[in-house]
Structure formats: C-alpha cells, structure tokens
Amino acid sequence: MPRLVAIDLGQKRTGVAATDPLQIIASPLETVETKGLWAWLQAYLAKEAVEAVIVGLPVNEKGEPGALHTQAQQLINRLRNAYPALRVEPEDERYTTRMATAAIRQAGLTKTARQNKALYDKVSASIILQSWMERNRR
C-alpha cells in the first residue's frame, strides 16, 4: 500500500511526515529547507509509492488565511499539475505548533534536543497527517 505524506510549510524550513506502508502510523520524516522542498519532493516521489500528499494550510484562529496560505496553495497547485494521479489535499494546520510543543515536552527530551526547531517542523507535519488520517478513515 502506498504511503501518505504531509507537509508543514515554513518560511525557512518545511517539516515532512509520512505513514508506514500500511498507513497505520504517521511519523516525522524530515525537515527540509523550504527553498529545496520541490527537489526533495520530486526525489521522494520518484523512489516511494505515495497515495496522497497532505499540505498544511495556514489559517488563523478565526479560520482566515494565515501568513503562508498563498505559498501553501501554490504548492498544492504545483503538485496537482506535476502529479495528476496523486491525491493532493489541504489540511487545516491550526494549533499544530502548540500540539507539537506539547508532544515534544511530554516526550521528555533534553533541553538541548527541545531547542532543535527542525524537530518541531516535522512533528507538526506528523500531527497534520494524523489529523487528516483520523478524519478520512475508510
């Protein structure tokens, strides 16, 4: 079974998460420099079977477009055009950073490990993916 992939787009870094091949567990995968994201995605999609890419859509607490909303929508459109057979869907990413912070604190990581901002990006992506999976269970 192909994997599901989620993207938490950031200005400098982008978090990526993926499921296992059975689509049971969403796990943090990688943090990529945003400027190199497209090349990274192309390489990943060439080597892995992927059923869907879920892109975190930044919205504020009122549900209005957030700071990177336009860039996220552009990425969605670019993926849909380049990979027409691939399912590409937006997912509300409200509160994912807060949830990632809580999850990382609960994991009992050292202060030094908790200061790694790249960790928050990929954990946020896994939360986006898990949320999408819970809403779309077959």
Number of domains in the chain: 1
Coil, strand, or helix at residue 71? helix
Q: Work out the average pLDDT over 19-40.
A: 95
pLDDT band at 138 (very low <50, low <70, confident <90, very high): low
The pairing of beta strand 87-92 with beta strand 50-57: parallel
The pTM of this model reads 0.87
Q: Work out the average pLDDT over 97-101.
A: 67
Q: How far apart are CA 137 and CA 74, in angstroms?
A: 27
Q: What was the pLDDT predicted at 34?
A: 96
- pLDDT, one tens digit per residue, over 102-132 is 666 776 666 666 566 767 788 889 989 998 9
Using alpha carbons, list the distances in angstroms from residue 33 to 13, 43, 83, 86, 118. Answer: 4, 14, 22, 23, 10
Q: What is the CATH number of the domain that holds 86?
A: 3.30.420.140
Q: What was the pLDDT predicted at 100?
A: 63
Side-chain-facing half-sphere of 34: CA atoms under 13 Å:
12
Domain that holds residue 16: 3-135
